[in-house]
Structure 1
Amino acid sequence: MKNIVQKAFLVLPFLVGLNGCSKFLDVNVTPNNPTSVPPSVLLPAAEYGSAFTNANELNRFASTVTQQLAGAAGSPQSWDVYITNGADLNNQWRFEIYGSALINYNQIIALADASNSKAYSGISKIMKAYTFALTTDVWGDIPYSQALQGEGNIQPRLDKQEDIYKGNQSLNIQSLFDLVREGLADLEATSVTKPGNDDAIYKGDLAKWRRAGNTLLLKLANTISRKEPALAKSVIDQVIAGGQYINSNADDLNVTFGASVGSRDPRYEYTNVSLFKDDLILSTRYLNLLQANNDPRLPIFFTKPGANYVTWDNGQSGARPTPVTSWSRYNAYVTGANGEGPVRLLTNFQRAFILAESALTLKTAGDPQALYTEGIRASMTLAGLTAAQIDTYLANNPKVATLTGTDAQKLEQIITQKYIAFTGNGLELWNDYRRTGYPTLRDSQNAVGIDGTRPVRAVYITQEVERNPNFPNPSPQSNVKLWWDVD
Structure 2
Amino acid sequence: MKRVIRVSKSIAVAIGLVIISSCDDFLDVNTSPNNLPAAEIQYILPGSQLGVGFTLGNTIQLVTSLWVQHMAGTGTQSDPYDRYNIGPSEMDNEWIGIYANLLDDLQQVKTQGRAEGNFVHAGMAGILQAYVWTVTTDMWGDVPFTQALNFDADPTPAYDPQQNIYAGIITILNEGLADLGKTNVLASSEGDLIYGGSVDKWTRMANSLKLKLYVQSRKKDAANATARINELITQNKFITSNADNFNVPFFASSGAQNPLYQYNHLTRPNDLIASTRFLDSLNALNDPRLPVLLTQTNGAYVGYDNGAHTLLNFTNANRSRWGLYIVGKGQTASNGTINVAVANDQAPMRLITSYMVYYWLAEAALTLGTTGNPATLYRQALEANFNDISTFLGATYTPANFTANGQAYTNARVAAFNAQPTTEGKLNVLIRDKWVSSAGNSYEAYNDYRRTGYPRLALPQNALAGVNRIPTRWPYALNELQSNKENIPQGLGTYPAGFLVPVWWMQ
Aligned-partner Cα distance in 2 for 1:376–1:224? 24
Cα deviation, residue 311, structure 1: 1.0
Task: Please say if 1:277 is aligned against 2:263.
Answer: no
Aligned-partner Cα distance in 2 for 1:144–1:222? 22
| Segment of structure 1 superposing worse, 387-396 or 369-378 | 387-396
Aligned-partner Cα distance in 2 for 1:359–1:240? 11
Cα deviation, residue 222, structure 1: 1.3
Which secondary structure does the structure 1 equivalent of 2:247 belong to? strand
Aligned-partner Cα distance in 1 for 2:299–2:40? 53
Q: Deviations over 1:103-153 (max 9, x none)?
A: 110000111010111101111111101001100100111111111113122
Aligned equivalent of 1:232, options 217, 225, 228: 225
Task: Please say if 1:118 is aligned against 2:119.
Answer: yes
Change (3 A) 1:149 1:420: same
Alignment of 1:191-270 (within 5 A): 191-270=184-263
Which secondary structure does the structure 2 equivalent of 1:207 belong to? helix
> Which amino acid in the other structure matches residue 421 of structure 2?
G
Q: Deviations over 1:455-481 (max 9, x none)?
A: 111100111110113224770522111
Contact 1:14–1:264 (CA under 8 A) maintained in structure 2:
no
In structure 2, the residue matched to 1:478 is 499
Aligned-partner Cα distance in 2 for 1:277–1:87? 24
Aligned-partner Cα distance in 2 for 1:432–1:376? 17
Contact 2:75–2:312 (CA under 8 A) maintained in structure 1:
no
Aligned equivalent of 1:315, options 297, 300, 307: 307
Alignment of 1:1-40 (within 5 A): 1-3=1-3, 9=9, 11=12, 12-14=17-19, 20-21=23-24, 23=26, 34=38, 37-40=39-42
Aligned-partner Cα distance in 2 for 1:313–1:400? 28
Contact 2:4–2:32 (CA under 8 A) maintained in structure 1:
no
Aligned equivalent of 1:329, options 302, 321, 341: 321
Change (3 A) 1:273 1:407: same
Task: Please say if 1:48 is aligned against 2:50.
Answer: yes
Task: Please say if 1:381 is aligned against 2:383.
Answer: no
Aligned-partner Cα distance in 1 for 2:489–2:23? 29
Which secondary structure does the structure 2 equivalent of 1:196 belong to? coil
Change (3 A) 1:21 1:370: farther
- RMSD across aligned C-alpha pairs, in angstroms? 2.5
Aligned-partner Cα distance in 1 for 2:5–2:150? 7
Cα deviation, residue 260, structure 1: 2.2
Cα deviation, residue 278, structure 1: 1.2
In structure 2, the residue matched to 1:291 is 283
In structure 2, the residue matched to 1:172 is none
Contact 1:83–1:449 (CA under 8 A) maintained in structure 2:
no
Which secondary structure does the structure 2 equivalent of 1:314 belong to? coil
Contact 2:72–2:273 (CA under 8 A) maintained in structure 1:
yes
Cα deviation, residue 339, structure 1: 2.2
In structure 1, the residue matched to 2:454 is 438
Cα deviation, residue 190, structure 1: 2.0
Which secondary structure does the structure 2 equivalent of 1:152 belong to? coil
In structure 1, the residue matched to 2:100 is 99
In structure 2, the residue matched to 1:184 is 177
Change (3 A) 1:143 1:268: same
Aligned-partner Cα distance in 2 for 1:208–1:313? 41
TM-score, length of structure 1 as denominator length:
0.91
> Which amino acid in the other structure matches residue 326 of structure 1?
N
Contact 2:245–2:352 (CA under 8 A) maintained in structure 1:
yes
- Structure 1: gaps of 5 or more residues: 167-174
Change (3 A) 1:241 1:313: same
Change (3 A) 1:213 1:15: closer
Which secondary structure does the structure 2 equivalent of 1:344 belong to? strand
Task: Please say if 1:419 is aligned against 2:422.
Answer: no
